[in-house]
């Protein structure tokens, strides 16, 4: 069984994770493979390591393959394709890579908060080449805050984060702007209830609840005060993510 295919940046190669059925025992990890677009030159580039892999995409420069360890609860990995070297954020911890910029450290990673309990986790800045990371926002801070989503601005100098105050009873937060070191620069007005966020050239696009059981996608200016509802689904309580055009 093949799953989660990802094309190379030039469209000539396809990467995929493969698994075999083991009946009641579940799936057997077969590793990560590369094959040419015409189906030839199939090559295993990683594993198997019995953890299973789910591919997420490529790094911005196209040199790295981003994947998760399935049996590690979603640990974040980057496989350097030219060298074959794999870099783990923390192979024992559930995490989600949510945004990239060009300069290292370039990855924003949400750590924890994957399962039951209140939403959100801590936010780390990760250098996926050296493996070093710095926690920039966290549920252990004072006051305790959790991040449900974060996104670099197009130039990579700042990021926006949807932040929930864990000291309050609410499970929904609002948007804040931070510098690359995690210092808060500004709150974005009129973004209460923000869940998922993306920073585009035209502004901040985010999701939030709408009505009793609906969800809306909203475009807001970075300085706040100006917003437009792009889409509303009155029958869905969850839109998992927003993606760039």
Domain ranges of the chain: 1-88, 91-244
Structure tokens at 167: 């000291």
- Give yes or no for a cis peptide into 38 (omega within 30° of 0): no
126 within 8 A of 133, measured Cβ to Cβ: yes
Tokens 């609002």, residue located: 174
DSSP SS3 for 24: helix
> Residue 113's pLDDT is what?
61
What does the pLDDT read at residue 23? Answer: 61
The three-state secondary structure class of 23 is helix
pLDDT one digit per residue (tens) for the chain, 245 residues: 556 799 998 899 999 998 887 665 567 888 999 999 999 999 999 988 877 888 999 999 999 999 988 765 678 899 999 999 999 998 777 888 999 999 999 999 999 865 545 667 899 999 999 989 999 998 777 677 889 999 999 999 999 999 987 656 566 789 999 999 888 899 999 898 898 999 999 999 999 887 667 888 999 999 876 788 888 887 765 555 555 55
**1 Cα distance to chain centroid:** 25
- Global confidence as pTM: 0.84
Q: Which helix (H) or strand (E) holds 185?
A: strand 184-187
Beta partners for residue 125, in sequence order: 108, 134
Q: What is the pLDDT of residue 99?
A: 95
Q: The CATH number of 91-244 is which of 3.20.20.150, 2.120.10.30, 2.170.120.12, 3.40.1190.20?
A: 2.120.10.30
Q: H or E element: which one contains 124?
A: strand 122-126
């Amino acid at each position: 069984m093949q799953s989660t295919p990802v094309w190379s940046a030039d469209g000539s190669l396809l990467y995929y994770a493969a698994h075999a059925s083991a009946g009641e025992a579940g799936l057997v990890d077969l590793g990560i493979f590369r094959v040419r677009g015409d189906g030839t030159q199939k090559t295993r580039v990683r594993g198997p390591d019995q953890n299973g892999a789910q591919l997420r995409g490529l790094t911005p420069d196209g040199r790295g393959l981003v994947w998760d360890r399935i049996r590690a609860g979603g640990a974040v990995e980057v496989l350097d394709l030219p060298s074959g070297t794999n870099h783990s954020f923390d192979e024992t911890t559930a995490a989600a890579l949510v945004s990239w910029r060009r300069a290292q450290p370039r990855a924003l990673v949400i750590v924890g908060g994957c399962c039951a309990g209140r939403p959100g986790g801590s936010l780390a800045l990760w250098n996926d080449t050296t493996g070093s990371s710095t926690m920039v926002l966290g549920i252990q801070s004072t006051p305790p805050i959790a991040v449900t989503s974060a996104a670099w601005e197009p130039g990579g100098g700042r990021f926006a984060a949807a932040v929930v105050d864990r000291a309050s009873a609410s499970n929904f937060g609002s948007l804040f702007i931070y510098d690359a070191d995690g210092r808060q620069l500004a709150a974005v007005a009129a973004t209460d209830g923000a869940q998922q966020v993306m920073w585009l050239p035209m502004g901040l696009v985010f999701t939030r609840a709408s009505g009793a059981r609906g969800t809306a996608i909203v475009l807001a200016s970075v300085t706040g005060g100006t917003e437009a509802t792009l889409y509303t689904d009155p029958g869905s309580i969850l839109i998992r993510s927003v993606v760039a055009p």
